[in-house]
Amino acid sequence: MPINTIKQFYELMFQTRDVRRKIINEYLNNLEPKLEDIEKLKKAFRSLQDIPRENSKFVLKHQQDKKIYVNPDYEIEELKKDIKYLTSSGKHFLNYLKDLHENFRNNVTQGMDFLGNIEFENFISDRDGTVNNYCGRYNSSIQSVYNAIFLINFIGKVERGIILTSAPLSDTGFLDVNIIPTGFYVFAGSKGREFIWNNKRYELDIDPASQKKLNQLNDELKKLLDKNEYEIFSLIGSALQFKFGQTTIARQDIYNSIPQEKSKKFMVDVIDIVRKIDPDKEYFAIVDTKKDIEIVLKNQNNTAQKNDFDKDDGIKFITDELSIDLRKGNNLICGDTESDLAILDYAMSKTKNNYTIFVTKDSILKQKVKNLCSNALFVDSPDELITILYKYSVERTL
């Protein structure tokens, strides 16, 4: 099917998610993937490659005559990797990853030396940019088959794994783009304010008055995005995400595909909605990241929960609810940005038996990591990190 519109693009990506989930289910039942499913992935790959181009840029329509430039590198490359993984041997696939990443072999070797014979009780990791390659649009960041299989193998060698993201769990969130079944990992969204484990969903309470205001805000934002001139903001970057204690809405993407004046006007209209609902600025704080507008509930001390609730609070909530004692054994903490330092800092406050791998080339971030934990390793890509985890699990199976 030709892909000419942004909606068709998303529809195709969710079709690949369903196919990938089917392949993972067959893998878990010791069955080979069906050739017809591999062919579906190949067909999707070709459809993405055939997206119309203008001036060497991929371009899609939204509405009748409006266009948006897109960069589907993540979607194309992850499909290409999956097809390679499903049609070649494990050795050939790892050689393929090696060819994609300049320092792949050295980083993986260092990673294996770093983990050595250590037994880990807990694995705690960020998702995007850490164990999953980064995508410019959250709604199409569908997890790959090879990625899922590597992580499934690894979790069998630790007591428990937690994958935590700032995105919501659903609508559209973590659970919508993930292909690993629930039950392997604790999947946590909204920085840990909500998570699912063994088919049970856990949520950190918000006081009724604040939740009522947040619901009112979300309804008004949905109406705003129903307008033709603003529909595009629900289709780029973070799109519209309803998180616990926070709503995030895109105002620009990493490709700067939205005209600056339109982005500014949208920002003004969003702020107007917030101020009409909360004229005394009692409930909400607004944070503009230039790519996203984050509207955050304030706590009773009238400070934004963004400053009061972070990933360390999320890990505390999860570990308290599930009676996970981080002091019981060794912990492996993984991240890729400064926001993930909060996870490491919390783990270090409980025990010194922590090891950390960060996916970064940023020398300043590396130093901050090492200041918190001396048992630190750095790699260049999520592919290198999950390969280390996979090879770690293989060595413990032999």
Which of 229, 264, 265, 222 is CA-nearest to residue 247? Answer: 222
| pLDDT over 50 (residue 234) | yes
**Cβ neighbours of residue 293 under 8 Å, at least 6 residues apart?**
248, 249, 250, 251, 267, 270, 286, 287
Q: In whole angstroms, what is the distance from residue 372 CA to residue 1 CA? A: 51
Q: In whole angstroms, what is the distance from residue 113 CA to residue 370 CA? A: 18
> Is the separation of the CB atoms in 33 and 27 below 8 Å?
yes
Give bridge partners of residue 59 from the DSSP assignment: 69
- Please say whether the dihedral angle defined by the alpha carbons of residues 129, 167, 27 and 49, taken in this order, is positive or negative: negative
Average pLDDT over residues 310-337: 96
> Is the separation of the CB atoms in 238 and 184 below 8 Å?
no
- pLDDT tens by residue, 128-174: 999 999 998 899 999 999 999 999 999 999 999 999 998 999 988 99
- pLDDT tens by residue, 72-107: 999 999 999 999 999 999 999 999 999 999 999 999
- Distance from CA of residue 136 to its chain's centroid? 11
Instruction: Please tell me which residue, 55 or 395, carries the higher pLDDT value.
Output: 395
Name the pTM for this structure. 0.90
| Mean pLDDT of all residues belonging to the chain | 93
Average pLDDT over residues 2-12: 93
- pLDDT tens by residue, 172-209: 899 999 999 999 999 999 999 999 999 999 998 888 99
Helix (H) or strand (E) holding 14: helix 6-28
pLDDT value of position 69: 83
Which region among 84-98, 235-249, 263-277 has the lowest average model confidence (pLDDT)? Answer: 235-249
Give the chain's domains with CATH numbers.
1-87 (1.20.58.1800), 208-299 (3.30.70.3080)
Average pLDDT over residues 34-52: 97
DSSP string, 207-269: -HHHHHHHHHHHHHHHHHHHSGGGGGGGSSTT-EEEETTEEEEES--TT--S-HHHHHHHHHH
What proportion of the chain, given as a percentage, has pLDDT over 90?
Answer: 78
Residue type, 187: F
Number of helices followed by number of strands (H, E) in the chain: 14, 15
What proportion of the chain, given as a percentage, has pLDDT over 70?
Answer: 97
Which of 337, 350, 343 is CA-nearest to residue 382? Answer: 337
pLDDT value of position 303: 42
Q: In whole angstroms, what is the distance from residue 368 CA to residue 78 CA? A: 31
pLDDT value of position 165: 93
- pLDDT tens by residue, 279-323: 999 999 898 988 899 898 886 444 444 445 789 999 999 999 999
3-state helix, strand, coil in the chain (%, to 5): 50, 20, 30
Q: Name the pLDDT band for 55 (thresholds 50, 70, 90).
A: confident
Helix (H) or strand (E) holding 294: strand 292-297
